Structure 1
Amino acid sequence: MIKNAHEIFVKTFDSPLNMECSQYQKCLGDENESEPDTRELALNRQGLSKLPTNYILDNIVSINLEENVFCELPQEIFFLRSLKSLNVAKNKMKLFANEVGNLSNLEYLNCSENQLETLPSSLSMISKLLVLNASRNNIVSIPDELKNLKRLETVDLSYNKLREVPTALVIGSKCITYLDLSHNSLKDFSKEPKCSASLKSFKVNDNCMVELPVWMRCLHCVEELCLGNNPFTCAPHHPLDNMMPLASLTMTKLSINSCSLKNLPISLTNMKNLTYLDAGNHLSYLTVDRKLLNSLWDISPALNLSYLKELRLPHAGLPVLPDEFWKRLNNLEVLDLEDNAVVWLPDGLSSHIHLTVLILSCNRLALLPNEIGAVKSLRELRLDRNKLNELPETIGNLENLIYLDLYDNEISEFPTSIGRLHKLKSLDLELNNIVIDESTIKVFKDFPSGYELMRKNLRSRFLPQNDRLIGSKAPPACNIPNVESDRESDSLSWNSDYQPEIQESMKNIAIVEEDDWDKTDGSDDFFDPEYSKALKNSVGRSQWHWARDNGRWVPPVGSDVFCPADIHPDLIPRSSKKEGPETSDGQFDDVDD
């Protein structure tokens, strides 16, 4: 008898697709633990299409045939009345024979990653079945007879072709604690299953649900809930705002990625014990209907989750972090803010003594605060594709750092403090304004592996990154002209290797001075509207952006004088002058004064 089927399914087998029969056997009762190894038969990954004849199958309790080429269950198995565990995952089965119902003592069945379109109704005769994994098949329906499996505790039907919730689940076992129906085509889940009160892990992400059923909003015993990538109707209110009207003390893991959210739902305030929250967009979803994507502006409801350990908000368009972000979420261990629009980090980062993974890739950071050096628990720091000009010297204090990604920034001086990171194994400094040569790599003389090997280690870990280049960004050929002196020319010269599109687009542009630009205070000496217009059209960024991001523009006047770059780095199109009939001299001489 299995002691706890859900614990076996989730903890012993981290993924339902990688279940080992031998591990399952160890979780059986005390009587079975004392049985000899001859009661287990492991023939996985042997390329078999039928069972070998030189095995004695009497009294076998566990058979593992995973990752072979069986097209059907071997007939010999149907006579093994003592069999309790059967793993036939990753084969080529299209049909289960009805004789499988003869396995009356079977408690664990894994038939995932086959080509099954349905399950045999004779499964209902296996009254002792506790774990059923039929994920990653082509199943379109489940026989109603399976409602008789009253002892089922774990059911995985993910990655199939179900369009309706199986009746066998709705009126079947009350004991199901783990139910995974993700990656199907379910639209209506309005009927409450009998197991709703016992569910601890419930996954219905990646379906076609437009409404969140009332019963699903009040799962007060659930610990893990995955609702992501469903086209929920947002009018007049997002259905997730009404989730958990009463406080939930059991919910610890919530996934609501790609649910058309504009703000984090206020219902998060009733989930005080959350330790994991995923409310971003997964990379694989960015090519689907953009209406499904989360586009977050306000994440303040998350600040009440003081027990939160892992927060993932990738690809969510988040423009800024709240001022109290670090202070309120001081138990974070993993923070993923990849591909947002964050330009600065608020104060308080130094208080995070548990943070081990910090992902800030593809943002707009121009400065990394000095207090980053106080987070000595950091093991992974990803800062690639930002606008960093330099690294703080305190980064050398991250004594436990293993992964450091600085790819594609604007770093112009080699960060020698990296030499103090003696545990560093992966590093990428390519596409910066520095050249990695023999003089710079001397910093790594005390490292077990050189820079080239560290770069390969990082890129192999964070795949897919096949688009990454090797080399440096050549700095501009000349600095921006001194604003205190007259301009020597009407356009700037740029290095062709740095921004070739810009140089090509600037070849035949004639700069015309505007009479209505007030330059008496010197604040607009560097502004050229026609030049900026061409620059904007070529790469989507004005010269204010370039000067600001590269630290090459210093305001020519005090802070009390208005400068366009202060509030509008992006160009605002100017309205064209209306043309009217020309007037001749003396035309209005007869008008009275």
Structure 2
Amino acid sequence: MSGVRRRAAAPSRAGFRLGDGEAIAGAAVPQGLIRAARKSGQLNLSGRELTEVPLHVWRINLDTPEEAKQNLSFGADDRWWEQTDLTKLILSSNKLKCLSDDVRLLPALTVLDVHDNQLTSLPSAIGSLENLQKLNVSHNKLKDLPEELIQLKHLRSLLLQHNELRHLPHEFGELNSLEELNISNNHLSSIPSSFAFLTNVLQLNLAHNQLKSLPAEISAMKNLRQLDCTKNCLETIPPELANMASLEQLYLRRNKLRYLPDFPSYTVLKELHVGENQIEVLKVEHLKHLNSLCVLDLRDNKLKSLPDEITLLQGLERLDLSNNDISSLPPMLGNLSHMKFLALEGNPLRTIRRDVLQKGTQEILKYLRSKIQDDNLISPNGELPVTAMTLPSQSEINLHAITALKTLDYSEKQTAVIPDEVLSSVGNNPVTTVNFSKNQLTEIPVRITELKESVSDVNLSFNKLSSISVELCMLYRLTHLDIRNNFLTSLPGEMETLAKLQIINLAFNSLPYQEEWEPCWIVPCARRGPAEQACPTHLQWPQRN
């Protein structure tokens, strides 16, 4: 029955394939491992100095085990006919130069790991492994991939890094079950446009290649969260990249970029790494939509200054400006309240004392904030001092936020009245967000109705409101309303006219639940930090058709 060739004079080596004049390729494969693999469906042969895979490994589920021929009484543990099909085969860290077409004899494989060998090609029979979900052929010497690879319709993870690939099959996009794809450290100069069909990929690593451009079609990878293009030859990024609405991490270090990529208003990007490029200037159009950004790496570029618009990045936690040509920082940088790490070494800074720089991020930000206060002691014409009765100057109203982010922000002023100058500053700009939180308001500004054609998000939290005015109910585009931490005891019936309202946050008020608020449902508060262990609820309206 067995198709395994063996020598009668060497029973201890039974089951291993021998070639004329060759060493015993399978001598490093103990029979105990083979027996265990028949039970578990997993076989790990890594680090065994194998120069080829023994035939009996490929035929593990086909041939009658040698021990079955020598023992006719079987216990429960020796029922070889009840063996499990091999689903996981690890051949990593050996000396394999090729894989046999006999790989087709293991059709149940879901994992095949042959990384860290000397493979120069893959057999066409690889395409017959129809159940394969993970293929790791990294750290080999592959120069191309067989076209049959695209037959692996269930493949989820494909690791090809550290090979010698110069091109990929044009039909590569047919691997549309892929979720992880790593092709870094190869010699690729282009990416097939068929990548547009890899819509399930979450992580794509193209680092350390020779890419001069990215295909616009890559924007169709709608679920991509992490894209790594480090160390290529990219001079520009296609604007279509902005359509990748799920992208959270973008690595573009060590390229030839002169500007930041453009992103749309709905980007959820959290990390942007563009260090070691040739960026000379930051423009407002490159910053205005990055309001979800937490990490910005700009080290080793050619920046001479930072724009005041850097304050649009309100969620920024880490900013690396090392090794640029920056001589001064905008004082408004000190208002980035979430900043935890600011790297400035390697810049010719002249406006901040060395002892301040040496004290670290928080002291630098504190120093910058003090400069803002000093500047505010002088009015715009440089003559009149600011008094307690002075209306807010243009410098206190974030005009860039109004024009670029469509946001009117006058929060944390501890004011009882929103000055007319603030609402007048909107002009004809279609503001969508209003933030008047953390003040002392006892009533909602009447002039808020002037924004009814555009505003959809209003934050009035942490004030002293005891009622909701009719004016607020005229904001017919309103979808989100935050009025937590006030003194509300009831809601006006006019709120039913807010047909687009989806979520209203009523936490920390004095509102009893009332049936007349229906149709609605109560959902738990999303935030339960240490200070909100007994957090009340949100009142949430369903989306109306």
TM (norm. structure 2) is 0.51
Against the structure 1 CA distance between its residues 392 and 206, is the aligned structure 2 distance closer, same or farther, given a 3 Å change threshold?
closer
Cα deviations across residues 242-268 of structure 1 (Å, max 9, x unaligned)? 2336x4421111122233221112x22
Which residue identity does 1:252 align to in structure 2? E
* Pair 1:200-2:196 in alignment: no
SS of the equivalent of 2:58 reads helix
CA distance in 1, matches of 2:29, 2:129: 23
1:276 to 271, 275, 280: 271
Aligned to 1:179: 181
1:124 to 124, 127, 147: 127
CA distance in 2, matches of 1:307, 1:324: 15
Aligned to 2:240: 243
Against the structure 1 CA distance between its residues 241 and 149, is the aligned structure 2 distance closer, same or farther, given a 3 Å change threshold?
closer
Against the structure 1 CA distance between its residues 336 and 112, is the aligned structure 2 distance closer, same or farther, given a 3 Å change threshold?
farther
* Pair 1:304-2:289 in alignment: yes
Against the structure 1 CA distance between its residues 314 and 186, is the aligned structure 2 distance closer, same or farther, given a 3 Å change threshold?
same
* Pair 1:390-2:355 in alignment: yes
1:144 Cα deviation from its structure 2 partner: 1.4
Correspondence list, 1:287-436, <5 A: 293-298=277-282, 300=284, 301-325=286-310, 327-352=311-336, 354-366=338-350, 368=352, 389-391=354-356
- Is contact 1:255-1:277 (8 Å) kept? yes
CA distance in 2, matches of 1:219, 1:89: 31
- Is contact 1:72-1:93 (8 Å) kept? yes
Aligned to 1:258: 254
Aligned to 2:140: 137
SS of the equivalent of 1:169 reads helix
Aligned to 2:30: 52
Against the structure 1 CA distance between its residues 296 and 243, is the aligned structure 2 distance closer, same or farther, given a 3 Å change threshold?
farther
CA distance in 2, matches of 1:137, 1:74: 20
1:222 Cα deviation from its structure 2 partner: 2.1
Aligned to 1:69: 49
1:271 Cα deviation from its structure 2 partner: 5.8
SS of the equivalent of 1:146 reads helix
* Pair 1:84-2:87 in alignment: yes
Aligned to 1:524: none
Q: Alignment RMSD, CA only?
A: 3.0
CA distance in 2, matches of 1:52, 1:197: 43
- Is contact 2:29-2:45 (8 Å) kept? no
CA distance in 1, matches of 2:219, 2:358: 49
Correspondence list, 1:470-485, <5 A: none
1:117 Cα deviation from its structure 2 partner: 0.8
Which residue identity does 2:327 align to in structure 1? V
- Is contact 1:275-1:307 (8 Å) kept? yes
CA distance in 2, matches of 1:396, 1:220: 36
Against the structure 1 CA distance between its residues 163 and 347, is the aligned structure 2 distance closer, same or farther, given a 3 Å change threshold?
same
Which residue identity does 1:364 align to in structure 2? P
Against the structure 1 CA distance between its residues 168 and 152, is the aligned structure 2 distance closer, same or farther, given a 3 Å change threshold?
farther
Cα deviations across residues 197-222 of structure 1 (Å, max 9, x unaligned)? 33332233333333432312443332
Against the structure 1 CA distance between its residues 389 and 212, is the aligned structure 2 distance closer, same or farther, given a 3 Å change threshold?
closer
- Is contact 2:202-2:224 (8 Å) kept? yes
- Is contact 1:244-1:270 (8 Å) kept? no
Cα deviations across residues 308-343 of structure 1 (Å, max 9, x unaligned)? 122212211222222242x32232233322222223
- Percentage identity across aligned positions? 24
- Is contact 1:111-1:133 (8 Å) kept? yes
Against the structure 1 CA distance between its residues 128 and 395, is the aligned structure 2 distance closer, same or farther, given a 3 Å change threshold?
closer
- Is contact 2:197-2:221 (8 Å) kept? no
Aligned to 1:111: 114
Which residue identity does 1:260 align to in structure 2? K
- Is contact 2:143-2:163 (8 Å) kept? yes
SS of the equivalent of 1:244 reads helix
Against the structure 1 CA distance between its residues 122 and 393, is the aligned structure 2 distance closer, same or farther, given a 3 Å change threshold?
closer
1:360 Cα deviation from its structure 2 partner: 2.6
TM (norm. structure 1) is 0.48
Against the structure 1 CA distance between its residues 90 and 321, is the aligned structure 2 distance closer, same or farther, given a 3 Å change threshold?
farther
CA distance in 1, matches of 2:360, 2:188: 49
Q: Which runs of 5+ in 2 are unaligned?
A: 1-25, 62-84, 364-545
Aligned to 2:229: 227
Which residue identity does 2:291 align to in structure 1? S
Which residue identity does 1:219 align to in structure 2? M
My pick for the range that moved more, 114-123 or 87-96, is 87-96
SS of the equivalent of 2:197 reads helix
CA distance in 1, matches of 2:361, 2:306: 25
- Is contact 2:340-2:362 (8 Å) kept? no
Which residue identity does 2:130 align to in structure 1? S
Number of equivalenced pairs: 312
SS of the equivalent of 2:263 reads helix
CA distance in 1, matches of 2:214, 2:159: 21
- Is contact 2:196-2:219 (8 Å) kept? no
Which residue identity does 1:294 align to in structure 2? Q
Correspondence list, 1:543-558, <5 A: none
Cα deviations across residues 442-500 of structure 1 (Å, max 9, x unaligned)? xxxxxxxxxxxxxxxxxxxxxxxxxxxxxxxxxxxxxxxxxxxxxxxxxxxxxxxxxxx
1:139 Cα deviation from its structure 2 partner: 0.4
Which residue identity does 1:274 align to in structure 2? L
Which residue identity does 1:179 align to in structure 2? L
CA distance in 1, matches of 2:347, 2:231: 24
CA distance in 1, matches of 2:358, 2:127: 66
* Pair 1:166-2:165 in alignment: no
